[in-house]
Amino acid sequence: MNLAQAYSLANSKSGFSRPDAEIYDAINQGGFKVYAATQKEFRGFFLKFDEASLTLDPTNATQEYVLPADCGQIVHLAERLVASDNWHPMAPESLSDALTTLQDAVGWDSFYSYQYGDDSEFGYYGPYLDSTVTQAGGALQIQKIRVSPIPAETRFVQIAYTAKWLPITDASSKIMLPDEGTLAMVNYAASYLCASSDDVTRATYYESQGDKQLNSYLYWARARQIQAPLCIDTYGPGE
């Protein structure tokens, strides 16, 4: 279902009683509700990979890095020195660790870093919004991370993240949902619009329909991969 179709349905279900701005706002609210439920069910549904936006820079004194503009949740972060290396996964850490050079002080970087497999010697705190970005508001509230310790060389970064919800504001907007989730979105939108017109009966009905369709959609969304994994039989003495 595209946005024009969603607009038409939400408008007709609500009795053609609300202005354009309210209709798009209602669709946005309904769509975000379905998006958030999808995230709760499966955080990798709206996954994006990026190997170009970030590099660890030894000249960055704060080691604070701006994430891609549409980054919502970090699913995976890794780094490597050269393109021929394997990616080394970076682990989250506390803000205290991210703000100190404790690992360097105890010799972590020079001795321990690769004694434990291919894990990275670097950790990160975040993502977070600083106060300036938060107060600015709007869609481009770009998040950041803070990395420690300071790298000795420039390193490439691989990030896998869940893309942010794209707000629906007018006819030029896009619906960031699979078709299977748009049925619930439209009914939630109709419920909000009917409630704005004090039509409690229809508002309650469309909300109930939205809940039912959301449950059906989530049943579909959770079974995204049903391929049987490889089975390995164990054996021991006497077998």
Q: How far is the CA of 65 from the CAs of 32, 41, 81, 143, in angstroms?
A: 27, 29, 17, 9
How many residues in the chain?
239
CB 186 within 8 A of CB 10: yes
pLDDT at 237: 61
Give me the mean pLDDT over the 39-59 stretch.
92
Does the pLDDT at position 103 exceed 80? no
pLDDT at 98: 79
- Confidence class of residue 89 from pLDDT cuts 50, 70 and 90? very high
Q: Is the pLDDT of residue 100 over 80?
A: no
Q: pLDDT digit string (tens) for 154-207?
A: 999 999 999 999 999 999 999 999 999 999 999 999 999 999 999 999 999 999
